[in-house]
Amino acid sequence: MPENGQSRRAVQGFGPQSKVREVVVAMGAKGTELLKKHGYDLGEGFVDVLSQYQTLEHAARTERLRDLDGLLEELNSAS
């Protein structure tokens, strides 16, 4: 972790190839809330291990996520 306390992901920002897990780990409850707002339901305890490593782009293509561009804009403005 860099000296300023921010994770590398927060500095670089999120993109279509970011993984669902990266959003949750880097942003915590805010990331979970934004994913849910855009249609991605993590479920109870995020037990679906494979979906944790799904890219945001893949989630949008498979209709598990709505408005990828809007989500990325919100994630990057919140980080």
Q: What is the pLDDT of residues 14-72, one digit of tens each?
A: 999 999 999 999 999 999 999 999 999 887 665 566 678 899 999 999 999 999 999 99
Q: Rounded CA gap, 71 and 61, in Å? A: 14
Alpha helices in 1-79 (DSSP H): 8-12, 20-37, 49-52, 56-61, 68-78
Tell me, yes or no, whether 2 lies in a domain: no
Rounded to two decimals, what is the model's pTM?
0.77
Q: How confident is the model at residue 78 (pLDDT cuts 50, 70, 90)?
A: confident
Q: Which of 23, 31, 20 is nearest to 57 (CA)?
A: 20
Tell me, yes or no, whether 1 lies in a domain: no
Structure tokens of 14?
């999120």
Exposure of 45 by Cβ count < 10 A (0-12 exposed, 13-18 middle, 19+ buried)?
A: exposed
Q: How many domains does the chain have?
A: 1
Tell me, yes or no, whether 61 lies in a domain: yes
The predicted pLDDT at position 53 comes to 86
What range defines the domain where residue 50 resides?
Answer: 8-78
Q: How confident is the model at residue 6 (pLDDT cuts 50, 70, 90)?
A: very low
Tell me, yes or no, whether 62 lies in a domain: yes
